[in-house]
């Protein structure tokens, strides 16, 4: 494994000057899914699966796509609607706006769109039960009850779902509503669904346990988990499955413990995404085959621990003269088993930065390459804040910056 450094040039216009650019970016910056080219790399295992609809096998431990097709093609937003509802509810739980034991009233019947239902009468149910109702059967009345509690009315709830999607990095997802005539208009992509599941794994990990239960009893009625794979293999821990009509969807996650060496281990989670399934039982068998393929043919390796990663970068107009590029999390990569010798690291860093710099602000990035193709691109961030210097310090550095470009080689073409 080798490490190469590719510096960025410093100039008065090349330095970051925008206040917006200096803000801490969305967490999704660290979850970039490298969609292109991986499957064509020499020696990259292929599952031998050909399906007409978009699909993907993703290692959530490293946020890498191991196999798939149509990753950025528009697909049904059925699963996005359910998971966005759950994600928004979990944010409200974290902020104390909802409690798991809080009982929400059954929504008025005219407000409940056609589709799976959880309630059988006017009595309410707990937030915990409603979340599981969304995960297990994609209950329309549970979504409405949560939406009314979170936003007050359904149009505002739909707006919140779209804002939440944008906030976590789902750039190609649009939710129009829960009404039957709007459901078919809801659109997402496999790439966006993967980003959302990654967010849930980091920010709301209890979702996987909630989606693993076999049955949910509500007011004396037993609701079976529509993701039947969760009952076939105890390692399957979620996430969504519905095969009751055309346009059904399947998102399946499986967890296994993998050693990392030196006594360390990792709880590794793989995800299969099939947002538009034709033949639910056949798709379930393919999903299990893909999960077995992923665990059998790939390993996760740790390339670097969290912490300082590269040489310090000069800072101008700041109360400190150096910024330390840092990995916010340990650098994990998924590679074909036994191919560690084909990994290369390339870091890209600026030759200088302008203060102020916030904690966690991206300073550059490191790329993980396998046989010359990029597997991951991970940001290197600031480990400490650097405030602006005083008037004299800023003036001195401004003069230095005016002369600095003269001493540097011209940019590469």
In this structure, what CATH number is given to the domain that contains residue 84?
3.40.710.10
Question: SS3 string of 329-391?
Answer: CCEEEEEECCCHHHEEEEEEEECCEECCECCCCEEEEEEEEECCEEEEEEEEEECCCECECCH
Within a domain: 300: no
123 and 219 both lie in a single domain:
yes
15 and 118 both lie in a single domain:
no
- Cross-strand partners of 68: 56
Can you tell me whether residue 12 is helix, strand or coil?
Answer: coil
Q: Which of 277, 295, 313 is the last residue of a domain?
A: 295
The per-residue pLDDT for 398 is 77
Domain of 11: which CATH number? 2.60.410.10
The one-digit pLDDT tens for each residue of the chain (413 residues) are 555 545 443 333 334 433 333 333 333 333 444 444 344 566 789 998 888 889 999 999 998 999 999 999 999 998 999 999 999 999 999 999 999 999 999 998 888 888 889 887 778 899 999 999 999 999 999 999 999 999 999 999 999 999 999 999 999 999 999 888 888 899 999 999 999 999 999 999 999 999 998 889 888 889 988 888 887 888 898 898 876 544 578 899 999 998 887 777 888 999 999 988 877 788 888 999 999 999 999 999 999 999 998 889 998 888 888 999 999 888 999 999 988 888 999 999 988 888 899 999 999 999 999 888 888 899 999 989 998 888 887 787 777 777 765 444 444 44
Element (H, E) at 301: strand 298-304
95 and 179 both lie in a single domain:
yes
322 and 290 both lie in a single domain:
no
- Measured over the CA atoms of residue 92, residue 96, residue 101 and residue 103, the dihedral's sign is negative
- Range of 161's domain? 47-295
For 42-56, b where at least 16 C-beta lie within 10 A, e where not — what string?
eebbebeeebeebbb
Q: Are 303 and 331 in contact (CB under 8 A)?
A: yes
The per-residue pLDDT for 130 is 96
The per-residue pLDDT for 68 is 93
DSSP letter assigned to residue 408: S
- Cross-strand partners of 264: 261
End-to-end C-alpha distance for the chain, whole angstroms: 28
142 and 281 both lie in a single domain:
yes
Q: How many folded domains does the chain comprise? A: 2
The per-residue pLDDT for 265 is 83
The per-residue pLDDT for 407 is 47
Q: Which residue has the tokens 């000069």?
A: 314
Q: At what angle do helices 154-168 and 190-203 cross, to 10 degrees?
A: 90
25 and 136 both lie in a single domain:
no
Within a domain: 42: no
Within a domain: 136: yes
Q: Are 350 and 364 in contact (CB under 8 A)?
A: yes
* Residue 413: CB atoms within 10 Å: 3
250 and 357 both lie in a single domain:
no
80 and 8 both lie in a single domain:
no
Q: Which of 269, 295, 321 is the last residue of a domain?
A: 295
268 and 384 both lie in a single domain:
no
204 and 172 both lie in a single domain:
yes
Within a domain: 41: no
64 and 136 both lie in a single domain:
yes
Q: Are 87 and 196 in contact (CB under 8 A)?
A: yes
Give the residue among 262, 214, 202 at the shortest CA–CA distance from 238: 214
Q: Which of 275, 295, 315 is the last residue of a domain?
A: 295
Q: pTM for this one?
A: 0.84
328 and 247 both lie in a single domain:
no
């Amino acid at each position: 494994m080798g490490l190469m450094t590719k510096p960025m040039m410093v100039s008065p216009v090349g330095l970051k000057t925008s206040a917006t650019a200096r803000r801490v970016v969305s967490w999704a910056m660290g979850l970039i899914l490298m969609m292109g080219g991986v499957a064509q790399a020499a020696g990259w295992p292929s599952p031998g699966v050909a399906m007409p609809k978009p699909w993907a096998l993703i290692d959530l431990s490293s946020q890498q796509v191991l196999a798939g097709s149509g990753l950025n093609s528009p697909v049904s937003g059925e699963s996005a609607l359910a998971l966005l509802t759950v994600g928004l509810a979990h944010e409200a739980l974290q902020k104390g706006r909802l409690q798991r034991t809080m009982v929400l009233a059954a929504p008025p019947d005219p407000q409940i769109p056609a589709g799976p239902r959880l309630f059988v009468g006017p009595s309410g149910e707990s937030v915990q039960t409603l979340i599981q109702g969304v995960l297990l059967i994609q209950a329309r009345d549970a979504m409405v009850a949560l939406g009314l509690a979170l936003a007050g009315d359904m149009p505002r709830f739909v707006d919140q779902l779209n804002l939440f999607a944008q906030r976590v990095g789902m750039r190609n997802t649009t939710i129009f509503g829960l009404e039957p005539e709007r459901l078919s208009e809801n659109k997402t992509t496999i790439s966006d669904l993967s980003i959302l599941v990654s967010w849930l794994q980091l920010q709301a990990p209890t979702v996987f346990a909630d989606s693993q239960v076999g049955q949910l009893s509500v007011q004396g009625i037993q609701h079976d988990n529509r993701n039947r794979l969760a009952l076939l293999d105890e390692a399957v821990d979620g996430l969504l499955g519905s095969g009751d009509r055309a346009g059904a969807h399947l998102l399946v996650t499986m967890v296994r413990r993998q050693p990392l060496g030196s006594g360390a281990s990792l709880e590794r989670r793989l995800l299969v995404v099939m947002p538009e399934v034709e033949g639910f039982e056949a798709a379930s068998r393919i999903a299990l085959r893909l999960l077995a393929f992923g665990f059998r043919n790939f390993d996760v390796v740790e390339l670097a621990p969290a912490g300082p990663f590269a040489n310090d970068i000069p800072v101008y107009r700041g109360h400190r003269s150096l910024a330390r590029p840092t990995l916010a999390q340990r650098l994990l990569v998924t590679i074909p088993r036994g191919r560690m010798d084909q990994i290369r690291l390339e870091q890209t860093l600026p030759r200088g930065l302008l203060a102020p710099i916030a904690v966690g602000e991206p300073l550059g990035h490191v790329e993980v390459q396998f046989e010359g193709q990029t597997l991951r691109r991970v940001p290197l961030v600031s480990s400490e804040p650097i405030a602006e210097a005083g008037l004299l310090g800023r003036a001195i550095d401004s003069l230095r910056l005016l002369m600095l470009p003269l001493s540097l080689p011209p940019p590469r073409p």
